[in-house]
């Protein structure tokens, strides 16, 4: 494989694993994160730590972005010490950020004005998928950029799905994905909490429903943490689903689409966040349902 110089922005829960994997397959990876600690770990894994997004983009053919939302993506590209300060011609930016489709379209247009290619490529699969290189990549962008970036995209995630030729289409597919994830997770929390309220052994209930027609990936993955009330180590926080389901509702309003189940799921995550669980693992949504206690008869 021909070594490429890859800029990488965002060494969070998922980004740090993807960046490390790109080093392992032979790329020169120049990374930037607002926090120093993940950069130190990345250097120990053979990567190059940078002091700004602009520095990470120096002499790079591609920039991979793994920040939290569209505003952060816009900032690292166009803000102070952002990628735009390199004035690198022919750059391809791969955004793996969950954001509004309108934000992805806007960033894509601004990148085009800079003479850059922009691939809207959000991912799914969580921290485990990032560690194993087994993410699903929902990529949309121009045919030429997608073709020349094909190998890199498959190194980010083995399940590469080309879902469109315009920025924003990847974000739309991710929106649908998060609608289902949020509803499934809220439903799992409701079911486990109801079993607990009924006096059933939650582990026994989980063992049955996770192996029956009621099963889902979210239930199988998050259910054990719900049963064990193990919420302190966050693979994905409650507030991430507040953000993502908020995007679902924004898109639903734009489409005039009645996303009633997503709206209900959002209220569950908002309730959990409002109860102080926003930074806990998203399986803590079960605690939102457990907070409703029946009145005891005198």
Contact present, 167 and 141 (Cβ < 8 Å): yes
Is 71 a catalytic site residue? no
Q: Are strands 136-140 and 123-124 parallel, antiparallel or unpaired?
A: antiparallel
- Report the b/e string of 81-90 with b at 16+ CB within 10 A: ebbbbbebee
Structure tokens at 130: 């990032």
285: Cα separation from own chain's centroid: 18
By C-alpha distance, which of 165, 169, 139 is closest to 251?
169
- Report the b/e string of 165-201 with b at 16+ CB within 10 A: eebbbbbbbbbebbbbbbbbbbbbbbbbbebbeeeee
Rounded to an integer, what distance in angstroms lies between the CA atom of residue 174 and that of residue 46?
A: 31
Q: How many other CB atoms sit within 10 Å of the CB of residue 203?
A: 14
Catalytic residue of the set 71, 161, 174, 296: 174
Burial, 110: exposed, middle or buried (Cβ in 10 Å; 0-12, 13-18, 19+)? middle
By C-alpha distance, which of 179, 178, 156 is closest to 65?
156
Residues identified as active-site: 174
């Amino acid at each position: 494989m021909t070594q490429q110089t890859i800029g990488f922005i965002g060494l969070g829960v998922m980004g740090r694993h993807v960046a490390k994997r790109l080093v392992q397959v032979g790329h020169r990876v120049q990374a930037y994160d607002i926090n120093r600690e993940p950069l130190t770990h990345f250097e120990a894994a053979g990567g190059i730590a940078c002091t700004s997004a602009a520095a990470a983009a120096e002499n790079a053919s591609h920039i991979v972005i793994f920040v939290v939302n569209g505003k952060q993506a816009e900032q690292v590209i166009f803000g102070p010490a952002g990628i735009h300060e390199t004035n690198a011609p022919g750059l391809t930016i791969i955004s793996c950020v969950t954001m509004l489709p309108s934000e992805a379209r806007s960033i894509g247009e601004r990148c085009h004005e800079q003479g850059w290619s922009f691939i809207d490529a959000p991912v799914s699969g969580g921290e485990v998928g990032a560690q194993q290189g087994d993410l699903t990549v929902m990529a949309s962008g121009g045919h030429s950029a997608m073709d020349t970036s094909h190998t890199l995209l498959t190194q980010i995630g083995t399940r590469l799905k080309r879902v469109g030729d315009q920025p924003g289409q990847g974000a739309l597919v991710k929106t649908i994905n998060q609608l289902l994830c949020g509803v499934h997770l809220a439903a799992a929390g409701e079911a486990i909490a109801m079993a607990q309220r009924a006096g059933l052994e939650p582990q026994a209930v989980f063992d049955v429903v996770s192996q029956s027609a009621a099963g889902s990936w979210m239930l199988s993955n998050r259910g054990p943490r719900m049963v064990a009330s193990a919420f302190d180590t966050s693979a994905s926080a409650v507030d991430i689903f507040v953000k993502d389901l908020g995007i679902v509702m924004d898109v639903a309003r734009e489409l005039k689409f009645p996303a009633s189940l997503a709206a209900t799921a959002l209220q569950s995550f908002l309730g959990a966040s409002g109860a102080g669980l926003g930074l806990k693992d998203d399986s803590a949504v079960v605690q939102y349902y457990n907070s409703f206690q029946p009145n005891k008869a005198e």
